[in-house]
Amino acid sequence: MSGKLRRTKDMTASEIKIGGADRPGIPRFLAYGLPREKDDDQAVVHDLDGLTLHDVPLGHPDAFLDFDGVVVFAGCFEQIRYDRDGYSPPSVRYDSKDLDRRERQLYTLMEDGRPFVFLVPPIPNQAAFHEFDSRTDLFRRMLKALPIDWQLLDRPVPCLDSLVPEFKSFIERYGAASVAFTPGYRYADHAAILVGSAREFYGFEFIRRLFFLPSHAASTREEAVAIVAEAIRGVLAYRTRMSEEMPSWVGDFQFTKEAELHEQLDQHRAEAMRLDAELDAHSKRKGALCFQSDPLVEVVFRLLRHVFGLSVESEEKRIEDAKILDDDGNIIAVAEIKGINRGFKREDVNQVDSHRERLDLTADVPGLLILNTKVKAKSLAEKDEPPHPDIIKKAVQENVLMIRTLDLLRYADLVESGAIEKEQFHSTILGESGWLRVKDGTVTVVKE
């Protein structure tokens, strides 16, 4: 709760005042990533009629699992930029690390029986004849997982009828359908249409835990809070009416099929944990694009060891200096690893040669200059700047192979996908000098 502004709203007097005490027994919901002004990163607690709403921006540390339920607007995790020519696919920016974490929390929240609500304003599923990547938003990921087909309507449907009484007030105030869902047979027994018809629907719930409700796009943060609050009240009332809570003793009766289903569920959970661990490992590798000093060296070491199968050691006093060893422990190459907010310079190449001299090695021993260039770049395109030809020639003269961490990650991707053998990387770093360039799946060593 620390670091949050608390606003208590008297629903009768419609006053907002600072302060208010904790409210035991009142449902606590998280509104994650609501629309807000560009520089507004304030987390606010709204004490509303019948509920407490924690309104936090994207990236806030509050976990979904700390609340009785969560509400997000579909599309809140992604930023879409369209190309002016109208033919190129749009670019989409999103925080994959936060999104992966939130997806795991969503599944755990549902397993615990707590509700998760998607408010669905206009959100495109294709542009310029290109389908959007389903990984860029939590809404897209969940519909793919269910799976349920959906499409953005040519024009919104402003007049809707709620098929259940609990959402009548919400639909009358805020319901405008911009997205239509197509029912699938797989979950006919587990999903209920809330808004629409059997042929096409605009709002539904899945096992009374996952809700998709049509909504117009909020123009202000205050309007977003009002929309979220009304949706939550509908969800709470609906879940109360549809409650099928049973006394604990009914669990004493067991279907034969249940044991098999529990075993399958345990296997899926184990597989999900394994996949989560792999995703986390790949996510951490991307630190090579933004880290400096010790964190960068650690990431690069893991890549060299676990992806390329190299034996690597660092010098105790110079963490950014590394040695590559053969099976007998002999030095076969030296490496300089560091992060800088610029491109390659002559002094960087000279440092590799100085490293060889400190170890009493001749210039015949290959030198690697692994740099995370442009550490403060705002995009991959900004980082993808080639070294100057004069610096490349200098590296060739000094028997140094320059490797941007961007190229190192691209090479690692090729090895993991089976497109290239890691032994080719060994041959390249031990026998080539210049700039190791990896682009569009092709590896080249640029000499000038």
The CATH number covering residue 355 comes to 3.40.91
- Is 279 a member of any domain? no
Contact 223, 188 (CB under 8 A): no
- Whether the model pTM is above 0.75: no
Tally of structural domains, the chain: 2
Q: Residues 309, 417: one domain?
A: yes
In sequence order, what are the beta bridge partners of 86?
A: none
Output the pLDDT for position 52: 95
Q: For tokens 């033919």, name the residue.
A: 87
Output the pLDDT for position 68: 96
Report d(CA 171, CA 202) in Å as an integer. 11
Q: Residues 356, 253: one domain?
A: no
The phi and psi torsions of 224 (rounded to 5 degrees) equal -60, -40
Which ranges constitute the DSSP H helices of 165-292? 168-174, 221-241, 256-285
- Is 280 a member of any domain? no
Tens-place pLDDT, residues 219-243: 899 999 999 999 999 999 999 998 8
Q: Residues 123, 245: one domain?
A: yes
- Is 439 a member of any domain? yes
- Is 414 a member of any domain? yes
Q: Residues 306, 394: one domain?
A: yes
Q: Residues 251, 327: one domain?
A: no
Q: Residues 178, 256: one domain?
A: yes
Q: Report helix angle 293-302 to 256-285, nearest 10.
A: 120
- Is 270 a member of any domain? no
- Is 420 a member of any domain? yes
Q: Residues 345, 255: one domain?
A: no
Q: Residues 130, 172: one domain?
A: yes
**CATH number of the domain bearing residue 80:** 3.40.50
Output the pLDDT for position 2: 42
Tokens of 155: 């024009």
- Is 274 a member of any domain? no
- Is 281 a member of any domain? no
Q: Residues 230, 337: one domain?
A: no
* Averages of pLDDT over each 10 residues, the chain, 448 residues: 55 32 82 89 92 95 96 95 73 91 94 95 82 92 90 91 94 94 68 81 93 94 95 96 82 91 88 86 92 92 95 78 93 95 95 92 96 94 94 96 97 96 96 96 95
Q: Residues 228, 334: one domain?
A: no
Q: Residues 315, 253: one domain?
A: no
Give the N- to C-terminal CA distance of the chain in Å, as an integer.
58
Domain containing 310: what range? 287-446
Report d(CA 269, CA 148) in Å as an integer. 22
